[in-house]
């Protein structure tokens, strides 16, 4: 018995017991961790199966799964998605998720599936897919960005804001995103009066200069007088489309007649809102061309505007706050093109 206690008092035995305890705890933690992951994985598969039964129009039972199929099928699904054939891309992704168990691929397929649901307008499915993925991989920034877009589309700005905070903790630069959601929060808030909204939007624009055009456009809807006061004389060209298409009821004739801002005056001269003055030059190619043509008796030139996304290089006929194609919040580039004027005076859809 004394020998046992002697052994117990031996420092080597104590170290051995300590190592055994540490190893046992690590093993148990690992086992519980795996069990938890398996449970979450099973939950996710069951969840996706609820979509599968409705969406799968292709019979995948005849395709024996092999890891060599991963890349070709993924490329095929991406091609379907790019061509807008979402009903074909979705079953492919569901098949890949069900059969592949390699985590890195699995998470990518889930994000691509969620993105396809998002593109096809199935917001609830896109949201549920991403929430399930984030339960397993809460630090997945791409999934967080996608979920944030969905919250924005569902007008759930507080949830979108919370995601910005998570992204910030993960080291992402969220300065523009926070301002972007602040803009929508102000605009859609029921607790602010129209006056408070305009003041808050002007304040937002003073701290985030890139929001100038967005705020000017909104002010013309909320408070025309404040919009005219807000105009920055040095930033006329970036809002050319707003001035070019501004309805007559929103034009402040007093300001445009008295202003010494030549580009602003020239725009309304080119629109024939105020009389022509050959001494006024805008230094905006399209406006000066229209004025020169008008001076020579040619009166049939108009400006066509397009909105170019610097991230995905797509062009759109309407202005946007988030690119409809790649969902970037980078500001668009205003593209201008001279074209033959189409007279719409007698135009009617009836």
Q: How far is the CB of 315 from Zn ion (least distance, A)?
A: 10
Q: Which is nearer to Zn ion, 20 or 83 (CB)?
A: 83
Distance of CA 112 to the CA centre of its chain: 16
Q: How far is the CB of 215 from Zn ion (least distance, A)?
A: 22
Sign of CA dihedral 141, 146, 151, 152: positive
Q: Which is nearer to Zn ion, 45 or 330 (CB)?
A: 330
Q: Which is nearer to Zn ion, 105 or 308 (CB)?
A: 308
Quick note: the x/- pattern for Zn ion over 254-293, rule CB under 5 A, is: ----------------------------------------
Among 311, 315, 333, 339, binds Zn ion (CB under 5 A): 311
Angle 86-99/103-119 helices, nearest 10 degrees? 160
Q: How far is the CB of 305 from Zn ion (least distance, A)?
A: 17
Q: Which is nearer to Zn ion, 194 or 324 (CB)?
A: 324
Scanning 52-60, 84-92, 278-286, 312-320 for contacts with Zn ion by CB under 5 A, the matching segment is 312-320
Q: Which is nearer to Zn ion, 56 or 334 (CB)?
A: 334
By CB under 5 A, what part of segment 316-335 binds Zn ion? Answer: 323, 325-326, 328
Q: How far is the CB of 244 from Zn ion (least distance, A)?
A: 24
Q: How far is the CB of 149 from Zn ion (least distance, A)?
A: 12
Q: Which is nearer to Zn ion, 78 or 251 (CB)?
A: 78
Tell me which residue has tokens 């092999």: 66
Beta strand 333-340 pairing with 315-316: unpaired
The pair of three-digit structure tokens given for residue 82, joined into one six-digit string: 């790019």
In this structure, how many other beta carbons lie within 10 angstroms of the beta carbon of residue 88? 17
Length reported for the chain: 350
Side-chain-side CA neighbours of 132 within 13 Å: the count stands at: 23
Residue 312 binding Zn ion, by CB under 5 A? yes
Scanning 51-59, 217-225, 271-279, 315-323 for contacts with Zn ion by CB under 5 A, the matching segment is 315-323
Q: Which is nearer to Zn ion, 268 or 327 (CB)?
A: 327
- Cα–Cα distance measured from residue 240 to residue 263, given in angstroms and rounded to the nearest whole number: 9
- Helix intervals (H) in the chain: 2-9, 11-55, 70-82, 86-99, 103-119, 123-136, 141-153, 157-169, 175-188, 194-207, 212-222, 224-230, 240-245, 253-258, 262-270, 285-295
Scanning 99-107, 225-233, 279-287, 310-318 for contacts with Zn ion by CB under 5 A, the matching segment is 310-318
| CA distances from residue 288 to 63, 114, 265 in whole angstroms, order as listed | 64, 48, 11
Per rule CB under 5 A, count of chain residues that contact Zn ion: 7
Q: Are 149 and 132 in contact (CB under 8 A)?
A: no
By CB under 5 A, what part of segment 290-309 binds Zn ion? Answer: 309
Q: Which residues bind Zn ion (CB under 5 A)?
A: 309, 311-312, 323, 325-326, 328
């Amino acid at each position: 018995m004394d020998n046992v206690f002697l052994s117990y008092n031996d420092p080597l035995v104590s170290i051995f017991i300590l190592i055994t305890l540490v190893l046992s705890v690590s093993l148990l933690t690992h086992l519980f961790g795996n069990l938890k992951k398996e449970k979450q994985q099973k939950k996710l598969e069951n969840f996706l199966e609820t979509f599968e039964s409705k969406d799968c129009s292709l019979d995948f039972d005849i395709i024996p799964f092999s890891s060599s199929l991963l890349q070709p099928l993924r490329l095929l699904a991406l091609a379907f998605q790019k061509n807008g054939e979402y009903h074909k891309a979705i079953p492919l992704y569901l098949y890949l998720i069900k059969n592949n168990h390699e985590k890195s691929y699995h998470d990518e397929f889930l994000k691509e599936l969620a993105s396809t649901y998002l593109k096809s307008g199935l917001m609830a499915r896109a949201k549920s897919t991403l929430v399930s993925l984030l339960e397993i991989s809460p630090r997945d920034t791409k999934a967080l960005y996608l979920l944030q877009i969905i919250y924005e589309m569902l007008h759930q700005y507080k949830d979108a804001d919370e995601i910005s905070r998570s992204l910030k903790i993960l080291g992402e630069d969220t300065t523009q995103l926070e301002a972007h959601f602040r803009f929508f929060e102000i605009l859609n808030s029921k607790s602010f009066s129209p006056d408070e909204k305009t003041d808050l939007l002007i304040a937002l624009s003073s701290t985030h200069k890139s929001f100038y055009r967005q705020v000017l456009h909104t002010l013309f809807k909320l408070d025309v007088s404040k919009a005219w006061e807000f105009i920055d004389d040095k930033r006329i060209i970036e809002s050319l489309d707003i001035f070019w298409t501004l309805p007559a009821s929103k034009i402040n004739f007093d300001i445009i007649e008295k202003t010494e801002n030549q580009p602003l005056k020239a725009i309304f001269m080119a629109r024939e809102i105020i009389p022509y003055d050959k001494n006024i030059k805008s230094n905006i190619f399209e406006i000066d061309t229209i004025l020169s043509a008008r001076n020579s008796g040619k009166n049939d030139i108009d400006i066509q505007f397009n909105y170019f996304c610097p991230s995905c290089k797509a062009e759109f006929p309407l202005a946007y706050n988030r690119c409809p194609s790649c969902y970037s919040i980078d500001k668009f580039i205003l593209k201008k093109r001279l074209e033959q004027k189409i007279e719409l005076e007698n135009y009617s859809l009836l």
